[in-house]
Each structure stands twice: as C-alpha cells, then as structure tokens.
Structure 1
Amino acid sequence: MTAPARTERIPFFPPDLFEADRTVLLDLLLELGLSPEQRFILGEHTRRFEGLLREALGAADVVACASGTSALDLALTAVDVGPGDEVVVPAFGCAPLASSVVQLGATPVFADIDPHTMVADPGDAERRITGRTKALMPAHMFSVMADMPRFAGLARRHGVRLVEDSAVAQGAVLDGTPAGLWGEAGVFSFVQVKSFGMPGEGGVVVTRDAALGERVRMLRNHGQDGSNRFLHHVIGRNSRFDEIQAAFQVHRFGGLPQRLERRAAIAAYYTERFAPLAERGIVPPPAGTDGRCYYVYTVLADRRRELAAHLQEQGVDCHAYYPLPLPQHPAFAVFAAPGDRWPHAERAARRALSLPVHHRLTDADVEYVADAVCAFAAH
C-alpha cells in the first residue's frame, strides 16, 4: 500500500463539532436555567425553531419532538396506523423503521432495495402491498433519497398512506421538492451525528397537511391542545422538545446551508475519484446532486473487511452500518414470511462501508481518504 500512515486519525464524526459554539451553548444554558419562567420544554424557542424550519421548507407545519424515532411513531400514529395494519418498509436500514411499526401493534413488511442506491425498491414494495397495507414508509439512506415520485404514485394508486423517513436527509431536494414533503408526513433527526445534529436527542415531523400537523402536536404532549393544558383529546405521548436545544439550533440554523454544501463538495470529490474503481470491487454512490443527502458517504466494497482494516491502519476511521438486514434480526424475524429473501439487502449488508464526509474535514484530509481507498483498490 502506498499511502503513508498518519500520526493523527481522521475521525468518522468530528469530536469538536460544537467547539465553535461552546460559549453560546453555555450562555443559553445559564439564560434559560436561571430565567424566571423556568420554561424548559415547548416554549418560545421551540416555536421559533419550528417556524424557521416551516418557512425554509414551505411546509404547512413542523412539529418538534423528542427524537427522530419518536417522530416516526407520531407520524405513523397520526395517519392511523394500528393493530392489524401492515406497513411496507425497507429491509435494509435502521431498527426504528420496523420497531416504530411494531410499537403500534402493526406489522412491518420488508421490501428489498435497489442494489446500487440501497434505498427501497418501489417495484418490490408494490408486490408486497396487500389488503391490510395501511402505509408505505420508504427511507432515504446514506447519501441518496428514495424514489419518492414512484412511491407517491404507488400510494395514490393503491389508496395507502405515505410516510417519508427523511431522518438523514435534511436539506436534500428531489425534483424541486424538499425531503420530508413527498409524503403525508416526513421526519428529521437532530441526534449529534446527523447533518443538523445537536448535543442531544431531538427530531421533527414535517407535513403539508395542517390538520395532520395539529394532530401530531397533540400527540407529542399527552393528547392536549395548546389552548387547554388539562384537556386530553387523544391518547398521546411525552415527546416534547427541549428549549435549550431549540435555542441552540436556532443559533446554528443560518450556517446549515454552508455545512451541507461542504459535505456535498467532499462527496462529489470522492465519487469522482472512486468512479474508476467499480471494476476493482469498490462502487461509489451515483454522481449528481438531485435527490442527494450527505449524512454519510457510503461505498459498496466486495472486500469490505479488508478495506476497513486498511483504512484503520492508515488512520482513517470508517463505519459499517447495518451488518444485517432488518428481517434477519431476532427482534424482527418473527414478522418475515418463511423462506422470504431480500438478496440486494443481504448483499448491501455485507458490502456497505461509510467514509468520513463531515464538514470539519480539510481538503488535505479528504484527499488523504481518497488516496487511501484508491491505494487499496490498486493492490
């Protein structure tokens, strides 16, 4: 291998993500912690944060809640998913895709994925729709949005609900429509590792439907509406947003486009460098910017274990997400039909390897990562 080892590692996620905002965060902690109102949840800062996102997206409503997982739960509940229903979800992805369905007493039905983009295959999803199907829930994966025009068409044609797991895709746009607004409801996650991550848990439900947004707003706060604290209209949850985090996200919101632009530039460089490596068993994601999100940058590597070991030796941290398809986990295997297979999801689980793409990387860091991958492919 020709790439020399570094004395300092290139981290997969930056350890100094909030260093530039340390003083602001501490000041907000003191300001809100010592304020006479003692309002730590669902206050003015949360309303302002929701308003910023609503205006930026052109959404009818944005409802902040406790986490991205909770946002999925609230969105599915708001579209009336419940016991006896089925929800078609990708076979490859994070556990909440299935667990959020199971928690409501419904059944996750696993669809295979596109072999290159690793997002749910609309064709396979359609063949899994039955008379019990209540909703489709495609998810955007790594740096690629799902084929939402086709999923929207499926939902209309079959008369089912469409919930968009856009947790990793804030800032992405497909055919002029922002991620989160293709379905009846979408979600974003603000856990630290996401593109608009914060020092804690949090998420939002976004929607074009004001009535659905109002229902989510009640569900997140024990079924109460904003006018009467002790009147419970529905059985709700405790999924409320933290005021300190809301104020911090408002502070950081103006810099999000620049951070996303930096991630996109890094990803474009990687893809250009890695495009010739397909014949050597390393396949980058599709080039371009439409329908792209840059949560993490993921290649498909035939020799993933060896590539990961090589990168670690060269001082580059990497990560293999989702080493098993969801229906092969003990928690979800009971929901899979005997003998059912998801060949593309199974292959992606063996091959997917994610590389650093965060905005704190220098040009030299990015070039070094690309050099290390290319050096491995050359040998």
Structure 2
Amino acid sequence: MTTVQTIPFFPPHLFEADREELLGLVRDVALDPEQRFILGARSARFEETLRSSLRAADAVLCGSGTSALELVLAAMDIGPGDEVVVPAFGCAPLAASVVNAGAVPVFADVDPHTMVADPADAERRVTPRTKALMPAHMFSVMADMPAFREAARRRGLRLIEDSAVAQGATLDGIPAGLWGEAGVYSFVQVKSCGMPGEGGAVVTGDAQLARRVRMLRNHGQDGTQRFLHHEVGRNSRFDELQAAFQLHRFAGFPRRLERRAEIAAYYTERFAPLAAQGVLPPPPGRDGRCYYVYAVLAEQRDALRAHLTERGVQTHVYYRQPLPEQPAFARYAAPDDRWPHARRASERHLALPVHHLLTDTDVEYVADCVRAFAAGR
C-alpha cells in the first residue's frame, strides 16, 4: 500500500522549537516578585516593541483582535444611530463588533479577484448616518487603503483598518494598521505573528485615541489610581506570559514572514498559467501583500479540495456565506440587496498551506497537485 504524505494546513508542532523557552517563561512570570499576570512590565515592553517597529504613536495590547475592533469603535464614540461600512465577505467580527457597539453594519461588495472590499461600492453605500469605513485585508492582499483614505477624507468619515491578518505587510511603504486612524492585529496562533493563546493590539498614529483605548481596555481606569473609573470600560487585558513569549519570538518574525512570502510567490508563479483551467491565484508582487493565508479561486473548489485531500494536502474553506446572508447579520441587509462578488468568493476560495514550517519539497508537492488537477480539467 502506498503511503500518502500529509501536509497540514495548521501545523500541530507550530511552537515545538520554543517549548523549553515557553516552560521557562511560565516559571519566570509565576515567580516574578511583581506578581503581575496581566498588563505588567512584559506587556509594556511588547507594546513598545510594536510601537517602535512600526514608528507608530502607540500600540495598545488587548484581549483579542475582535476586542481590538470593539475598543476602537468605542473610543471613536460610534454607537446607536451610526452606520459603519464593512466588507460583505470576511470574518464575523467585522460585523459583530459594529453590532455590539450598537451601530449598524452596512455591507459593501468585494473585488472579484482580490476578495477585499471594493472602495467604490463602499462609498456608494455611505448615507448621512455613516460614521466610519472599516475595510479589511483579506487572505493574501491588503485592501486599497489609498482609495479608502481618500474616500474617508472626502466624506468626513472615520477610517478603521482591520489589519488582523496583515501584520508585517506594507503598502506604498506604510505598514498595515497605520493607513487608517487606527488598525488592529490579532495574535491567535495561526496568524503570521501568532502565539499559543488569544490576544490582539490596536496600533495608531493618534496618541489621544490610543490613550482612550488604553483606558477602555481596563474598565475605564487610566493607570494613575486603581479603582478610579473615568468611564465605563471593559476587560480586554493582555496576558504577561503571552507578552513574554511574543518578545522572545519577535526577532524571528521577519524571517518567518519572509518564508511565507517565498512560498506564496512560488505558488503564484506555478499557478499563473491555470486561469484558463479555472484556478486563479492572487495577483503577483509583494507590495500590499500579506501572507497569513494563501487562497486561490477555483471554479470547481470542492472537487479541487477533494483531489488535494486524497493526496494528503490539507486545505481550508473560511467563509462559505457572505456576512449579510448569515442568520446573525441578515437583519441588517436590505431584502433586495446583492453582493455578487462576495457570493462568488464564498463559493470559490480555497486556502492552501503557507506556514513557515513547510519544506521546499512540501511546497513543490502542493503546487504539483494543484497543477495536476487543473491539467485533468
């Protein structure tokens, strides 16, 4: 019997090389005389590391990428009576964060190739109640932030950048997260700068906005006096052990990201000729690219996925329905509204392994399997 190799989509041994360091950090944090397990000196150092690496005004750690979005919306006083334009294709927090703020998500269609929000369609949906635009970077490609920035300026709107999947990416020399008034990162384990737990950050060029986010994440306290609450906040605090672990791994982040970029470039080169066979890779190039997920658009997505599964290549389908077609958010969509490109993206996208632990042999095998499927069609 022939043994089929398995190439995991989510590698189970993602942090194996850091096992001993992590165990040591558990001891260090537990025995630290400061006895701070949240928002201690290590969290402060990680915030400064992020801030200086981005040349941002500030970076504020919080409990998750989702809560980072919610904190930004709260800090901007977005709430009941307001609308926020978000992509129709993407993860639930895009809409849920707006709903949880008491505002209404308004869904914009996406670009048919890159799957990021279409700036023209987003601006078409602006009304007198619109308070903010909230584009999101998706899979391999950053949103068209110059166009969104100009639209926000022209319409007098706030601009929030959901850069949860794009840490380390740049567009026109500007890091993902700093195109809008505030951006967010997620550190959940499968992200490019992930860790073994939940966590996120708000990054911004606006120091005043950062101060309010910092206060809101900790029950409305400003850090000068405990149990003095300046406004109603929430609990979205960062874990000291995770901060220590991120500080340990941060020096290797550019190397890990570069490996993902190399894999993505190889896939795109191998898949570029396959468009006529119904397999479309992301656009080539590095500017405005993120490497959290590498997704192709396949006319016969489920057949391609089955083909790869039979050959030991694990894949992933993220969003099988546009957000406004899901039960949680359908009430916020007009009955006659349509998002044809978001619908097509839901039906066609397929994510391939792109993590930094793949070997060259693994990557070549994945590409060969995809090309073999296309050749058979």
Which TM class, normalised by the smaller chain length? over 0.9
Match of 1:253 in 2: 250
Taking only the aligned residue pairs, the percentage that are identical comes to: 73
Pick one of 189, 192, 216 that aligns with 2:189: 192
Cα distance in 1, alignment partners of residues 245 and 156 from structure 2: 41
Report Cα offsets for 1:183-203 as digits up to 9, x if no partner. Answer: 000000000110011000000
Whether 2:225 is the aligned partner of 1:228: answer yes
Displacement after TM superposition at 1:36 (Å): 2.7
How do 1:1-379 and structure 2 match up within 5 A? 7-379=4-376
Change (3 A) 1:74 1:182: same
Q: Is the 8 A contact 1:5 1:314 kept in 2?
A: no
Cα distance in 1, alignment partners of residues 224 and 35 from structure 2: 20
Cα distance in 2, alignment partners of residues 67 and 314 from structure 1: 35
Displacement after TM superposition at 1:37 (Å): 2.3
Structure 2 regions of 5+ residues with no counterpart?
A: none
Displacement after TM superposition at 1:5 (Å): 7.2
Letter in 2 for 1:69: T
Change (3 A) 1:5 1:376: farther
Cα distance in 1, alignment partners of residues 211 and 307 from structure 2: 51
Letter in 2 for 1:355: L
RMSD: 0.9
Report Cα offsets for 1:239-280 as digits up to 9, x if no partner. Answer: 000000000000000000000000000000000000000000
Q: Is the 8 A contact 1:93 1:326 kept in 2?
A: yes
TM-score (norm: length of structure 1): 0.98
Q: Is the 8 A contact 1:65 1:202 kept in 2?
A: yes
Q: Is the 8 A contact 2:4 2:311 kept in 1?
A: no
Displacement after TM superposition at 1:103 (Å): 0.2
Displacement after TM superposition at 1:230 (Å): 1.7
Cα distance in 2, alignment partners of residues 7 and 34 from structure 1: 47
Change (3 A) 1:69 1:5: farther
Displacement after TM superposition at 1:13 (Å): 1.5
Q: Is the 8 A contact 2:68 2:202 kept in 1?
A: yes
Displacement after TM superposition at 1:41 (Å): 0.2
Letter in 2 for 1:285: P
Stretch of structure 1 that moved more, 236-245 or 27-36: 27-36
Letter in 2 for 1:309: A
Cα distance in 2, alignment partners of residues 255 and 164 from structure 1: 25
Displacement after TM superposition at 1:226 (Å): 1.4
Cα distance in 2, alignment partners of residues 223 and 6 from structure 1: 58
Displacement after TM superposition at 1:172 (Å): 0.2
Aligned residue pairs, count: 376
Q: Is the 8 A contact 1:5 1:315 kept in 2?
A: no
Letter in 2 for 1:94: C
